[in-house]
């Protein structure tokens, strides 16, 4: 019987390699024609996560979420602002900071990407029994939460 921890490690390596090859982004371009830069989508995901937690999102928090240095985070955020997906607003808690806020176009782009990702994941798990899909979702979420706690 295989060691489950070894199996998880192998799966995580395979996922990391796949993400490194930007396979989901390539698939999105092929299937939908969407050409939004993956780095910009990562910024939108990070801002959305801040919103869901009720926290103000800044370039610093985006950089932390995406493990980017400040200059790179600033450049990608600037691109998202130029593309009309984000706007900068004065942070109500600290006027020295600019909060990043999703625009309507940013929310539309996020919704489109969420639908696409979910469709791909549903396709991958399409022949799985519903109980396996539910267990996988629950356990993967639990794993990600615990891993996030260890690595933060």
- Provide the residue ranges of all domains of the chain, joining segments of one domain with +: 1-35, 36-151
Q: Is the pLDDT of residue 146 over 90?
A: yes
Which among 29, 18, 60 is positioned nearest to 43, based on CA atoms? 60
Name which residue leads in pLDDT, 106 or 29.
Answer: 106
Q: Which residue has the higher pLDDT, 37 or 63?
A: 63
The CATH architecture of the domain made up of 36-151 is: Orthogonal Bundle (1.10)
What pLDDT does residue 152 have?
66
Higher pLDDT, 59 or 33: 59
DSSP string for residues in 25-56: HHHHHHHH-----HHHHHHHHHHHHHHHHT--
Mean pLDDT of all residues belonging to the chain: 89
Please determine, for residue 41, whether its predicted confidence score (pLDDT) is greater than 70.
yes
pLDDT-derived band of residue 136, with 50, 70 and 90 as boundaries? very high
The CA distance from 88 to 43, in Å, is 13
Rounded-to-integer distance, Cα 82 and Cα 141, Å: 33
């Amino acid at each position: 019987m295989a060691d489950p921890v070894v199996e998880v490690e192998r799966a995580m390596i395979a996922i990391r390699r796949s993400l490194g090859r930007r396979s989901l982004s390539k698939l999105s371009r092929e299937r939908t024609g969407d050409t939004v830069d993956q780095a910009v989508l990562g910024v939108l995901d990070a801002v959305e996560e801040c919103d869901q937690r009720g926290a103000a999102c800044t370039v610093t928090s985006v950089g932390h979420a995406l493990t980017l240095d400040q200059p790179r985070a600033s450049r990608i955020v600037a691109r998202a602002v130029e593309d009309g997906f984000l706007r900068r607003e004065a942070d109500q808690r600290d006027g020295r900071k600019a909060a990043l806020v999703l625009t309507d176009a940013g929310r539309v782009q996020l919704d489109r990407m969420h639908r696409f990702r979910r469709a791909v994941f549903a396709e991958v798990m399409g022949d799985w029994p519903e109980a396996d899909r539910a267990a996988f979702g629950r356990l993967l979420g639990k794993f990600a939460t615990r891993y996030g706690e260890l690595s933060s």
